[in-house]
Amino acid sequence: MTGKISGFNHPAVAHFEFMRNQISGGTVDKQILPAPELCLAELKRSDNARALNRVYQSDTEMVHDLAAAYHQIMSDLYRVGARTIQLNRQGLGSQQGRSITELGTQVSREAVRDLPADLCVQWHVTHGTCYSA
């Protein structure tokens, strides 16, 4: 981490726009992003937390910037045609998981505030990986 969290010019927007241009015939398209809890869990991992703490003095400031980044990305996706965005999260165990979930809830609430009414934001919770043999 070298600076503040930002959602400007996120590559997911260009990827969505490219894929959208490949689709024809009224196919409904959706963008899937990792949920804020997953991003927070990665930021709070011990080897990343040191860099995070050099940039952010408090979780409050970091949560606000992360929410603003998610809001920016979702707004940009909407601008290029996305009408459904799915945020994928995994069940997080442990005490750190509860803390991450609480911060993630704050990020999510702030991130979706004032998005266009016809943008559907869905959360998908997974509980692990399934294998087929």
pLDDT given at position 104: 84
Beta-bridge mates of residue 33? 87
Backbone angles phi, psi at 7, to 5 degrees: -105, 5
Q: Are 35 and 67 in contact (CB under 8 A)?
A: no
The residues spanned by each domain of the chain are 28-122
pLDDT in tens, the chain (133 residues): 889 999 999 999 999 999 888 887 767 678 999 988 888 888 988 889 999 999 999 999 999 999 999 999 999 999 999 999 999 877 655 556 667 778 888 998 999 999 999 999 998 887 665 555 5
Q: Are 83 and 116 in contact (CB under 8 A)?
A: no
Confidence (pTM): 0.87
Q: Are 116 and 55 in contact (CB under 8 A)?
A: no
pLDDT given at position 6: 96
Q: Coil, strand or helix: which one is 113?
A: coil
